[in-house]
């Protein structure tokens, strides 16, 4: 059974800073997790260094998703006032050192981010979902096809600007006609 060498959050922070150096713009502690802000172009290398770093070994890819920081409906300022209206969010975990790392990738004008599926194979499905639901294109992904929605579906349902279609209300097929029910019919 492997020996787990749990490190304190401050020690984890220093290990991540030493490993990433200038690759990440901002590295901080956030509730015991190490938060790393990475430019999209650096993401594959950041993920690789976090996975392969001797004092880190973040071997467990937990999830990848996106965050829409705009206001609902895009009104009152919205995306134009934000430094990055969308962000890709990735969580990695080191079972050897009990280190949690969150990678934040701000997406400014274009919603394009390099894939990390070459580093973590589990990212394939997560990137497909973020592509389908938020419209983020993952460069180098081998197959950005929809997981949930039909291929001809228009829009990205998890964006705050997505207008929900009104539901077509149909009568319940087992409902009784009120006039017939009052007359004692079935």
pLDDT tens for 124-153 read 999 999 999 999 999 999 999 999 999 899
Q: Report the percentage of the chain scoring pLDDT > 70.
A: 81
**Residue 103: beta bridge partners?**
36, 90
The whole-angstrom separation of Cα 45 and Cα 37 is 13
* pLDDT of 168: 62
Q: Which two tokens stand for residue 109?
A: 């004008």
Residues 6+ positions from 184 with CB-CB distance below 8 Å: none
Greater pLDDT, 74 or 143: 143
Place of tokens 């995306």: 79
Q: Report the percentage of the chain scoring pLDDT > 90.
A: 68
Greater pLDDT, 93 or 184: 93
Model confidence at 79, in pLDDT bands (50, 70, 90)? low
Greater pLDDT, 58 or 173: 58
The whole-angstrom separation of Cα 64 and Cα 127 is 7
For the chain, what is the mean pLDDT?
87
The whole-angstrom separation of Cα 51 and Cα 142 is 21
Q: Which two tokens stand for residue 46?
A: 């950041």
Model confidence at 60, in pLDDT bands (50, 70, 90)? very high
* pLDDT at 19 exceeding the cut of 70: yes
CA torsion through residues 143, 144, 145, 147, sign: positive
Give the mean model confidence (pLDDT) for residues 81-98.
90
Least confidently predicted of 31-35, 71-75, 89-93, 144-148:
71-75
The whole-angstrom separation of Cα 4 and Cα 161 is 45
* pLDDT of 76: 45
Phi, psi of 142 (to 5 degrees): -75, -15
């Amino acid at each position: 059974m492997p020996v787990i060498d749990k490190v304190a959050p401050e020690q984890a922070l220093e290990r991540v800073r030493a490993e990433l150096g200038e690759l990440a713009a901002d590295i901080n502690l956030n509730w015991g997790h190490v938060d790393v802000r990475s430019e999209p172009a650096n993401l594959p290398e950041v993920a690789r260094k976090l996975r392969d770093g001797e004092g880190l070994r973040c071997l467990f890819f937990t999830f990848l998703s996106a965050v829409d920081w705009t206001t609902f409906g895009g009104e009152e300022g919205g995306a134009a006032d934000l430094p990055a209206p969308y962000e890709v969010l990735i969580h990695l975990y080191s079972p050897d050192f009990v280190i949690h790392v969150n990678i934040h990738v701000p997406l400014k004008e274009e919603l394009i981010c390099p894939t990390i599926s070459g580093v973590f194979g589990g990212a394939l499905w997560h990137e497909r979902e973020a592509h389908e639901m938020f419209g983020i294109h993952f460069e180098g992904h081998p197959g950005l096809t929809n997981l949930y929605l039909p291929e001809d579906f228009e829009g990205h349902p998890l964006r705050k600007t997505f207008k929900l279609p009104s539901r077509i209300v149909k009568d319940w097929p087992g409902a009784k006609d009120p006039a017939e029910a009052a007359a004692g019919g079935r």
